[in-house]
Amino acid sequence: MAKWSASRRNWTPVAVANTTNMTAAGFHAVQGGSSTQVLKIIELYMGGLAAAAAPAQMILARDSTVFAGATSNAALLAALDPATAALAAPPLSQDVGSTTLPQRSATLVMLEVAFNAFGGAIRWVARPGEEIGMLGNAASFGEISLSHGAAGTPGLMGSHIIFETI
């Protein structure tokens, strides 16, 4: 099926503990577009843009509370192939939640990595068949977010999450 990129540019994560409301504009989340939609995450990239040392503790995890009611969207969603047909229920790539902000699961952490956002970069790529799976649009399988852990120093960065819809 088609591959999509959810990207955010020039954003600064906000440190947050597990199972605590994230801060609007301080996270990057991807949520399924319908209750039966399957997403497979293929790639995660983070590039540091901070002007000074910022050892960031970045966590890709499933959300135990999914965002809702988002009205603005700084996270871009684009098909990698320009010939990709529009989806009836496209996934959501958001950085805000006007009525409900997401909460990171305390147990369902997919990847936890630290890097210096002062020019550092992180790239994770899945082998075909070894992707991170998502299902639906409800907790906890339906949303995955990139956020900053409670420790460390968040810094300005850009990120993208590439996934496949099934």
Nearer to another protein, 78 or 125 (CB): 125
Minimum gap (Å) between residue 123 Cβ and another protein = 5
The answer to whether residue 99 forms part of the interface with another protein (CB under 8 A) is: no
Minimum gap (Å) between residue 3 Cβ and another protein = 16
According to the 3-state scheme, what is the secondary structure of the chain?
Answer: CCEEEEEEEEECCCECCCCCECCCCCCEEEECCCCCCEEEEEEEEEEECCCCCCEEEEEEEEEEECCECCCCCCCEEEECCCCCCCCCCCCEEECCCCCECCEEEEEEEEEEEEEECCCCEEEEECCCCCCEEEECCCCCCCEEEEEECCCCCCCCEEEEEEEEEC
Q: Can you tell me which of 9, 118, 153, 158 binds another protein, judged by CB under 8 A?
A: 118
Residues binding another protein (CB under 8 A): 35-36, 38, 48, 53, 107-111, 113-116, 118-127, 129-130, 132-136, 141
